[in-house]
Amino acid sequence: MKSRWTTWPWAAIACIGSLAAVIGTAQAQTRDDAASYPTRPVRFLTPAAPGGTTDILARLFSERLTQEWKQPFIVDNRASASGVLAAEATANAAPDGHTLFLAYHQHTINAALLPKLPYHPVNSFTPITQLIEAGLLLVVHPNLPASNFKELLAYGKTLKGGLNFGSAGIGSGGHLAGELMKLMTGVQATHVPYKGTGPAMAALLGQEYHFNFAGIAAASRLASAGKLKPLAVSSLKRSPALPDVPTVAESGLPGFEVVGWYGVVAPAKLPKPILTKLHTEFVKFLHEPKMEKTILDLGGVPTSNSPDEFRKFMLADMEKWRKVVQASGAKAY
């Protein structure tokens, strides 16, 4: 009778060899899947209605990827619930690269405003790359007696009830930019939410409130026409689209920064070879001259990074807005 100590090592070695063969086969299959990806149409989910900046970006990249890979990249607009429905659909999809999500700053803001999200804004996804960052433009009506940021604050102190500021809605970038300004300056200001940028701009033109941190693309057109007065941009650096408009930080509030961003993510556990392929292509297209010009015309700056850098950026953004929401008492509803 053979001792178990003489038979066991050989059995173990055989098992290890079989396991290594299985792992090797799986890795080879993953590489093959990446080489042939995509094998069918890709859904590109967006948390916005057709026509806005988010939709425009999704369609630009979808058209370019369709041309490159000969498979349709189909833009799927899900403009409701502050992007939660689009994000949830992405998080629940198969991690095979055939479902992508064009996330933007609302994605991380939601974590602060909506504590019971059906997913984690970072861990439930595979970050691919950030695409764009863009500051907001602080604008007022031309009749308002303030020509710069400091004069706006001084004017607010003369008002018994303080300033009023409008935004595209509760939890929007413009809303939280106003809340951050209040925290950093101590100025009294009441938020007036509207259902979208269009209604908010129309109300400012009608002098229904005092100021708005609005998207550069929409606000700069009205400013160029003399219908609104630009005071400052919310990014740390001046916008290439508005080089003569100072930043809030250089206008007397050092450290103030609110940057809208856009980036692309996939469901969690996306295979590394497919992630690498997607990252390479998105970054390549992002920095093509035609794409860069379009992004600059929209008031943004092309901004690519690695998947790990994008993950760290989103985690930091979540923490930043969590603190602002807690301190301001902002509520989603």
Helix intervals (H) in the chain = 4-36, 53-69, 84-91, 106-113, 149-158, 173-185, 197-205, 216-224, 272-286, 289-297, 307-328
Residue ranges of the chain with pLDDT lower than 70? Answer: 1-33, 332-333
Q: What are phi and psi of 210, to 5 degrees?
A: -95, -40
Of 89, 96, 84, 75, nearest to 32 by C-alpha is: 96
Task: Give bridge partners of residue 104 from the DSSP assignment.
Answer: 262
Q: Note the pLDDT of residue 26.
A: 44
pLDDT for 227 = 97
In order of their start, the domains of the chain are 41-133+260-328 (3.40.190.150), 135-251 (3.40.190.10)
The tokens of 30 are what? 């993953």
Confidence at residue 33, expressed as pLDDT on a 0 to 100 scale: 63
Q: What is the pLDDT of residue 14?
A: 63
> Would you call 161 helix, strand, or coil by DSSP?
coil
User: What confidence score (pLDDT) does residue 299 get?
Assistant: 83
Segment holding 189, helix H or strand E: strand 189-193
What are the pLDDT digits (tens) for 275-314?
999 999 999 999 999 999 989 888 889 999 999 999 999 9
- Using alpha carbons, select from 256, 104, 238 the residue that is nearest to residue 180: 256
**Which pLDDT score, from 0 to 100, does residue 51 have?**
73
The helix, strand and coil proportions of the chain, stated in percent and rounded to the nearest 5, come to 50, 20, 35
Structure tokens at 124: 């439930």
Please tell me what DSSP assigns to residue 218. H
CA–CA gap between residue 232 and residue 149 (Å, rounded)? 7
CB atoms within 10 A of CB 187: 18
